[in-house]
Structure 1
Amino acid sequence: MIYIDKADFQIDSACVAFGSFEGVHTGHRAVINRLLEISKSGLTSVVLCFDGHSDEEQILTTSEEKRELLSENGPEVLIFYEIDKQSFSLDQFIKEVLADKLGAKVIVTGKNDPHLPALREHSKKYGFSIEEIETVNIGGEAVTSQRIATEITQGSLEKATEMLGHPYLMMGEVMHGKALGRTVGMPTANLGVGENKLIPKHGVYATLSIIEGESYKGLTNIGLRPSVDSYRYVTIETYLLNFAKDIYGKKIQLEVQGFIREVQKFDNLEQVKNQVEKDLEYVKNNVKQ
């Protein structure tokens, strides 16, 4: 896969899917799978992700996470195209990007895509056809990024995973924390993520961490730490099973696979350790590796 994150690209005879691809969920995957099928006829498969959000807007997937999720069974070319939502012109985008820069022959999109009327209007003028994909429904409703975000903020990871088609992914670097877990023999990796990244409901989760190509089951606490300090900031701390390496500054892909329990306040670190040992049994039996 060729990865492009700047505006100066030129491709001829492409099959294109474009949009935010927020979450890279099952609806997006249906579009991309069809794109890959059509591209076998000799077209270059291109996924163009709109890049650009406000500072207050929370997102399901960063550009890095989208790239990771599309690295397998993805397009030949992945483009991140920065836009200003306030001044974005779809007509101009169709001409200057889809037609001129990509030489689009086929546009693949969902039947509920709000861009469809404009695409139909310009298809003959710019010489591309439109492949419309049926909406993916789960639980009697269309799969949308907003539905998924709601489930994640409520801690309903099973529902979110079903709609995403993959566990909720959080990528970032391991940061230095207060190392309190080491005092009870349970060192944790403190994950730093982007400020706009949507954080799941505060609680304790069963997770899988991928570090330098290796995967490790883990127990992740997301939220405040009422048992160990009074700081009012959210942390994402993971205790990794059977792991004893120094990974400060390393990149982690954290798959959030299941919600175990709410965050609780304990009287001392020994009580924390006892509860964690119970939680780890759930992790050992339920996390898919």
Structure 2
Amino acid sequence: MQIITRLEELNIDSKTAVAMGKFDGIHLGHKKLLDLIINAKQDGLKATVFTFEPSPEEYFVGHKIKQLFTKAEKRKAFEKMGIDILVEFPLNEHTVATPPEDFVRHILVEDLKASLIAAGTDVSFGDKGRGDQYLLKNMSKELGFELILIDKVMLDGEEVSSTRVRNEVVDGEMPMVKRLLGCDYSISGIVEHGKHLGHTIGIPTVNILPPDNKLLPPFGVYRSTVVIGDSSFDGMTNIGRKPTVSSDNQVGVETYIYDFDEDVYGQNIEVILHEFTRPEMKFDSLEALKAQMEKDISGIKKKNS
């Protein structure tokens, strides 16, 4: 997958099918757009995602916002779907002032060779957000590109949106998050050395530090799956600050993988969260912590069987 992050890289030599959007959550609504451009590959068009970096929300509020998908996770997801080109259009003082007509004419059509443009009916772009579905409709006739507009996707009578997904993540409702995303919620990272206390109580864990901008569900214990390379393993994950054994307030994601004893330090893993089982707790002793963890493991194993 070709990744474009600078304006001077925008000159494409093949016709494209472009999906426009923020793609901050890659939920069911986004996937409906993505399916359109992926299907257009059958007509010889390159499937192209056009999004913004930083997100318009971050740019205009002036600070980082917790992400459902980090940049690295988004790139991995798009590549796995079969996207050919990912444009992370740089938002800055100059580019946000681009007249929407110029945006369509010069960036989408001339530079990206857009033959098909797919967008939501709430699409917004260009100076002061003046670019919308009606401008795209008018310019599609003038410039000769096909335009497909997608209405909001509904689930259980409510609109599927990134805000809705965020709220469900914050509430720890992982099965609903999966329904809204069309896939499980996960956290990726490099396996770090911890204090090795898991080894001392016979329950070794693999530990990752989540990116600062990753939206985390409530601290506590989750039924999980860990993906390491091409292999997947059932496990139990704790997200939080480990109050029984730590006082540094470092938020970590530690997972006990059943019947697993490989050395994976330094490897990138993905921790998939299936179900919240209990909140994080502080115990009076390591023995009490071990007893609870053994109880947690037994209960989660029953659910997996």
In the superposition, the TM-score normalised over structure 1's length comes to: 0.91
Letter of the 1:82 counterpart: P
Residue number among 103, 108, 123 corresponding to 2:113 in the alignment = 103
Distance 1:111 1:36 in 2: 19
* Structure 1 residue 40: Cα displacement: 1.7
Residue number among 181, 185, 203 corresponding to 1:164 in the alignment = 181
Aligned 8 A contact 2:21 2:123 in 1: no
Query: Aligned pair in 2 of structure 1 residues 264, 133: CA closer, same or farther (>3 Å)?
Result: same
* Structure 1 residue 85: Cα displacement: 7.7
Query: Aligned pair in 2 of structure 1 residues 11, 80: CA closer, same or farther (>3 Å)?
Result: farther
Counterpart position of 1:139: 156
Aligned 8 A contact 2:21 2:120 in 1: no
Distance 1:43 1:231 in 2: 52
Letter of the 2:182 counterpart: G
Distance 2:156 2:93 in 1: 31
The more displaced of 250-259 and 71-80 is 71-80
Aligned 8 A contact 1:20 1:51 in 2: no
Matched, 1:19 2:21: yes
Aligned 8 A contact 1:52 1:85 in 2: no
Counterpart position of 1:82: 90
* Structure 1 residue 25: Cα displacement: 0.9
| SS of residue matched to 2:81 | coil
Distance 1:178 1:143 in 2: 41
Matched, 1:63 2:65: no
* Structure 1 residue 71: Cα displacement: 3.2
- Cα RMSD for the two superposed structures: 2.1
Query: Aligned pair in 2 of structure 1 residues 286, 31: CA closer, same or farther (>3 Å)?
Result: farther
| SS of residue matched to 1:166 | coil
Residue number among 114, 138, 144 corresponding to 1:121 in the alignment = 138
Aligned 8 A contact 2:236 2:257 in 1: yes
Residue number among 174, 180, 191 corresponding to 2:197 in the alignment = 180
Per-residue deviation, residues 217-268 of structure 1 (Å, max 9, x unmatched): 1111111212222222322111111211222211011111111111112221
Counterpart position of 2:228: 211
Query: Aligned pair in 2 of structure 1 residues 277, 11: CA closer, same or farther (>3 Å)?
Result: farther
Distance 2:15 2:31 in 1: 22
Residue number among 275, 282, 286 corresponding to 1:258 in the alignment = 275
Residue number among 240, 243, 267 corresponding to 1:223 in the alignment = 240
* Structure 1 residue 108: Cα displacement: 1.0
Residue number among 243, 246, 263 corresponding to 2:263 in the alignment = 246
* Structure 1 residue 131: Cα displacement: 0.7
* Structure 1 residue 86: Cα displacement: 8.3
Query: Aligned pair in 2 of structure 1 residues 202, 6: CA closer, same or farther (>3 Å)?
Result: same
Letter of the 1:33 counterpart: D
Query: Aligned pair in 2 of structure 1 residues 87, 43: CA closer, same or farther (>3 Å)?
Result: closer
Decide which structure has greater helix share. 2
Distance 1:188 1:138 in 2: 37
* Structure 1 residue 109: Cα displacement: 1.6
Query: Aligned pair in 2 of structure 1 residues 45, 242: CA closer, same or farther (>3 Å)?
Result: same
Percent identity over the alignment is 33
Query: Aligned pair in 2 of structure 1 residues 188, 5: CA closer, same or farther (>3 Å)?
Result: farther
Aligned 8 A contact 2:210 2:252 in 1: no
* Structure 1 residue 36: Cα displacement: 2.1
In the superposition, the TM-score normalised over structure 2's length comes to: 0.86
Distance 1:278 1:85 in 2: 55
List runs of 5+ in structure 2 lacking aligned partners. 125-131
Distance 2:50 2:248 in 1: 41
Aligned 8 A contact 1:257 1:287 in 2: no
The more displaced of 4-13 and 210-219 is 4-13
List runs of 5+ in structure 1 lacking aligned partners. none
Counterpart position of 1:6: 5
Query: Aligned pair in 2 of structure 1 residues 187, 92: CA closer, same or farther (>3 Å)?
Result: farther
Per-residue deviation, residues 160-185 of structure 1 (Å, max 9, x unmatched): 11101111121111122222111101
Residue number among 25, 33, 36 corresponding to 1:34 in the alignment = 36
Query: Aligned pair in 2 of structure 1 residues 183, 145: CA closer, same or farther (>3 Å)?
Result: same
